[in-house]
Amino acid sequence: MSKTKKAYVYKGFERFWHWNQSLLIFLLALTGFEIHSSFSLFGYETAVDLHNKAAWAFIILIIFAIFWHFTTGEWKQYIPTTENLRAQAEFYLFGIFRNAPHPTKKTLISKLNPLQRLVYLGLKVLIIPVMVVSGLLYMFYRYPQDGGIEIINVDNLEIIALIHTFGAFILLAFVIVHLYLITTGHTITSNLKAMITGWEELEEDDEEISKKEDNE
């Protein structure tokens, strides 16, 4: 037995951060591929300029997001757990195509399922930092010092560029999977609407329903 309740799941800054992060990742990918000569849209020099500006905006957004996560306690959402991890993976691989029930329930204190926790944690502590550091190294490979130009103590930019590009492909793969998974809510658009309005229908378990009925 389960019912649903409408809850304010995603706060204002959380939605602001999510959509701006999405926009900046899209712009960084678009200009990054043009810099790699995959196509021509803005022109090389404009693409480089836009890429650099978007990168700085992304870094500033990350700083604000880190501050928000730690001051609100939302960082706890990413603490990994093995509980229901296998069941969650099997749900995405097989169960979702058989209309099987979701193995985990979203709550205000647990917005992410076990698999999401691992993926998002990996992005935040590994992939995004690698992208930021490699991007900064690429940007400041040569820098002015005492009237001359100094070079960071690396053999060449090739390894930095390869790492940066590899991280970009991982981010793009995540975005593609993420776009698919947002359609797997109660309805095709329910997850999207929740990230726009902040409100989402959450399932109540039997214990919560019993308490409500007793109070009534």
pLDDT digits (tens, 9 = 90+) for 73-107: 999 999 999 999 999 999 988 988 888 888 988 88
Identify the DSSP state of 171: H
Phi, psi (rounded to 5 degrees) for 27 = -65, -40
d(CA 127, CA 115): 16
**Confidence at 207, pLDDT banded by 50, 70, 90:** very low
Give the pLDDT confidence of 19-74 residue by residue, as tens digits. Answer: 999 999 999 999 999 998 888 999 999 999 999 999 999 999 999 999 999 999 99
Q: How many domains does the chain have?
A: 1
215/155 Cα distance (integer angstroms): 70
Residue 70: the pLDDT is: 96
Burial class (CB in 10 A: 0-12, 13-18, 19+), 29: middle
Q: Which domain holds residue 46?
A: 3-215
CATH, residue 93: 1.20.950.20
What's the pTM?
0.85
- For residues 115-136, average pLDDT: 94
